[in-house]
A and B are shown apart, each in its own frame.
Chain A
Amino acid sequence: MKNKRIPVFAMLLALCCGVLVSGCKTTDVIDGLGAVQVGGFRLSESQVGALKKTAVALEKAFTDITPEQEYYVGRAVGATLLGKYHPRTDQQTVQYLNLVGQSLARVSDMPETYGGYHFVLLEDEGINAFAAPGGLIFVSRGMLRCCRDEDTLAAVLAHEIAHIQLKHGLQAIKTNRLTSAFSIMATEGAKQAGGPQLAQLTGIFEESIHDVTATLVNSGYSRAFEREADVAALVILGRAGYDQRALVALLGEMKQRLNPQGLDFAKTHPDPADRIVELEPLLAEAKAPAGMALRQQRFKSILGSI
Chain B
Amino acid sequence: MGMRMKIVLFLVLSLVATAVWAGQGWRSVAVQKGAVRVSPMPFGKIVATLGYGERVDVLEEQGLWLKVRDQQQGREGWMHSASLIAKTITLKPGERVGAGASEDELALGGKGFNAQVEAEYKARGKNLDYASVDWMERIQVSPEAMREFLAKGGLQNPEGGNGHEK
Chain A contact residues: helix, strand, loop or mixed = helix
Query: What residue of chain A has the Cβ atom nearest to residue B24's Cβ?
Result: A23
**Contact assessment for B82 and A110 in the assembled complex, using a CB-CB cutoff below 8 Å:** yes
How close is B129's CB to chain A, nearest CB, in angstroms?
4
Q: Identify which of residues 106-121 in chain B touch chain A, using a CB-to-CB cut-off of 8 Å.
A: 106-108, 110-118, 120-121
**Contact assessment for B80 and A136 in the assembled complex, using a CB-CB cutoff below 8 Å:** no
- A240 close to chain B: CB less than 8 A: yes
Q: Identify which of residues 28-66 in chain A touch chain B, using a CB-to-CB cut-off of 8 Å.
A: 28-31, 38-39, 41, 51-52, 54-56, 58-60, 62-63, 65-66
**Contact assessment for A28 and B112 in the assembled complex, using a CB-CB cutoff below 8 Å:** no
**Contact assessment for A72 and B34 in the assembled complex, using a CB-CB cutoff below 8 Å:** no
What's the Cα separation between A289 and B79 when bound, in Å? 28
How close is A101's CB to chain B, nearest CB, in angstroms?
8
- A272 close to chain B: CB less than 8 A: no
How many chain B residues touch A (CB < 8 A): the figure is: 87
**Contact assessment for B154 and A205 in the assembled complex, using a CB-CB cutoff below 8 Å:** no
**Contact assessment for B113 and A181 in the assembled complex, using a CB-CB cutoff below 8 Å:** yes
**Contact assessment for B107 and A60 in the assembled complex, using a CB-CB cutoff below 8 Å:** yes
Q: Which residues on A sit within 8 Å (CB–CB) of B17?
A: 16
Query: What residue of chain A has the Cβ atom nearest to residue B158's Cβ?
Result: A239
Choice from A8, A186, A194 contacting B106 with Cβ under 8 Å: A186
**Contact assessment for B160 and A23 in the assembled complex, using a CB-CB cutoff below 8 Å:** no
Scan A15-30; emit 1 where CB is below 8 A from any B CB, else 0: 1110110111111111
Q: Which residues on B sit within 8 Å (CB–CB) of A208?
A: 113
Query: What residue of chain B has the Cβ atom nearest to residue A81's Cβ?
Result: B129
How many chain A residues touch B (CB < 8 A): the figure is: 99
Given contacts A51-B11, A75-B133, contact A241 B156 (CB under 8 A): yes
**Contact assessment for A12 and B42 in the assembled complex, using a CB-CB cutoff below 8 Å:** no
**Contact assessment for B139 and A38 in the assembled complex, using a CB-CB cutoff below 8 Å:** no
What's the Cα separation between A70 and B12 when bound, in Å? 27
Scan A111-146; emit 1 where CB is below 8 A from any B CB, else 0: 111111011100000000000000010000000000
- A250 close to chain B: CB less than 8 A: no
**Contact assessment for A118 and B137 in the assembled complex, using a CB-CB cutoff below 8 Å:** yes
Q: Which residues on B sit within 8 Å (CB–CB) of A55?
A: 12, 15-16, 19
**Contact assessment for B157 and A193 in the assembled complex, using a CB-CB cutoff below 8 Å:** no
**Contact assessment for A112 and B22 in the assembled complex, using a CB-CB cutoff below 8 Å:** no
Scan A289-305; emit 1 where CB is below 8 A from any B CB, else 0: 11110110010000000
What's the Cα separation between A213 and B125 when bound, in Å? 14
How close is B71's CB to chain A, nearest CB, in angstroms?
13
Given contacts A103-B150, A239-B157, contact A198 B15 (CB under 8 A): no
**Between-chain CB contacts (< 8 Å), 13 pairs:** A8-B7, A20-B18, A25-B87, A27-B105, A30-B15, A66-B108, A72-B114, A80-B128, A83-B128, A185-B112, A186-B106, A206-B125, A239-B160
B: residues with CB less than 8 A from A are 3-4, 7-8, 10-26, 30-35, 42-43, 52, 64, 80, 82-83, 85-88, 93-94, 100, 102-108, 110-118, 120-122, 124-130, 132-133, 135-137, 139, 141, 145-146, 149-150, 152-160
Given A31-B104, A79-B132, A114-B52, 19 more A-B residue pairs with CB atoms under 8 Å apart are: A12-B11, A25-B105, A26-B16, A27-B105, A30-B15, A31-B102, A38-B8, A51-B12, A63-B87, A68-B113, A69-B113, A76-B121, A79-B122, A82-B132, A119-B139, A120-B136, A185-B106, A193-B93, A201-B117
